[in-house]
Structure 1
């Protein structure tokens, strides 16, 4: 198998703000593709960068993910820009919606990349048709 090619299929989570010995062993397994971070994994940007660095020291090819979409679903808050939920863009005209979504996405991505995080798991196609509370503010407005 070529060096650096990740063929893992599992995304796992971590217990806290530092890697445990057991997590270190799990991350070394070839079936693990990466991790998903949650609020419990965050105290500060400096701590987050150290945690990411420790994960990369186990395996450089691991995918590091977080759900940092904005609104009520924003895992890292202190030290990060508070982003609106996707639904908030619906109050603007279509050109402004595009600009706001683009600028918020760019800001979120740049803050995550600066900490070494590869991927945000936020929704990009969730549409709120008002038929279920599950989507809530995370979905974009549906227009008829």
Structure 2
């Protein structure tokens, strides 16, 4: 009897190990690497995205102003998405100032810009303001914010400085205020994103629209990333589409192994989740979708962000999943690279509250 019991316990033990190590299908792992925008601002209008979430065709969504009508409607949408897929990322760009999805929406609080925060509030005041910002997002069912911006304030910038999105022209101040942002959101239980790596503040053109080149990048602009990574406060970093000519003349940061794989992962020792800026931005013009996707993943990127639910007549998630599957089948991407990203994403999702 004792021998039989021991055999049973042994079998159970190894069965548990096997179950714990079992992975989802390749397509399900790839799906976790895709985040999409969607249409509609009521639950009735968003049933297609809820359905796709249920069938795990993507791992996250991004909320835009077009998705927001009332608090009640937004809460119904986020609640339905969470019920459809446990651990789904529901993200938003909520920086304050010009970059908010709640502008001109009734019933929502809005907040001052990063520039105004640094000019008018001390660090304690900034922390209190960002707690209020985080609480509003959490109450709405949003669990991931694409902020803070840690780009350096440079008056030549048409997309950062002109919109008051940077804290300061002093990189130490940028790091200090960003730290308060990270702490405030962490206390409330909403994930944050440092952006736009390696730095968009000195870029003289807008990567939303066109190819954006930085000829003489000042590497002191990496300090906020270094500080946050060193303190283990950086969980997710967004990669920009800027070109750093002294690092890579062929590819922008979001497609560059030298910038993601070497500068961010090896030099700064970041082992968290890397997300792209919107892959449909003009800064990537000239590259095919396959080139963009394959290079981002091979460089060490984890989540591909797409602002649109559809690309042409195909659902973005379906299209991008097939691009990645085809790349694996043609040996342009190793399956192990997908597994690495999947593991990083699932680890981050385990911190969702």
Identify whether the pair has TM-score above 0.5, normalized to the shorter chain: yes
Once the two structures are superposed, what CA deviation does each residue of 1:50-100 show, in whole Å capped at 9, x if it has no partner?
1111111211221111111111111024322220010112324xxx43123
**Matched residue, 1:98:** 123
Any stretches of 5+ residues in structure 2 without a counterpart? 1-21, 172-353
Distance 1:106 1:27 in 2: 29
Higher relative contact order (CA 8 A, sep 6+): 1
**Matched residue, 1:78:** 106
**Matched residue, 2:348:** none
DSSP-derived class of the 2:61 partner: strand
Please identify runs of 4+ aligned residues in structure 1 that moved more than 6 A.
none
Pick aligned residue for 1:89 from 90, 112, 117 = 117
**Matched residue, 2:153:** 128
Distance 2:96 2:125 in 1: 13
Distance 1:39 1:75 in 2: 5
DSSP-derived class of the 1:35 partner: strand
TM-score (norm 2): 0.36
What is the root-mean-square deviation of aligned Cα atoms in Å? 2.3
Is the counterpart of residue 68 in structure 1 residue 94 in structure 2? yes
Is the counterpart of residue 142 in structure 1 residue 169 in structure 2? yes
Distance 1:91 1:20 in 2: 40
**Matched residue, 1:10:** 34
Q: Report the alpha carbon displacement of residue 31 of structure 1 after superposing the two structures with TM.
A: 5.0
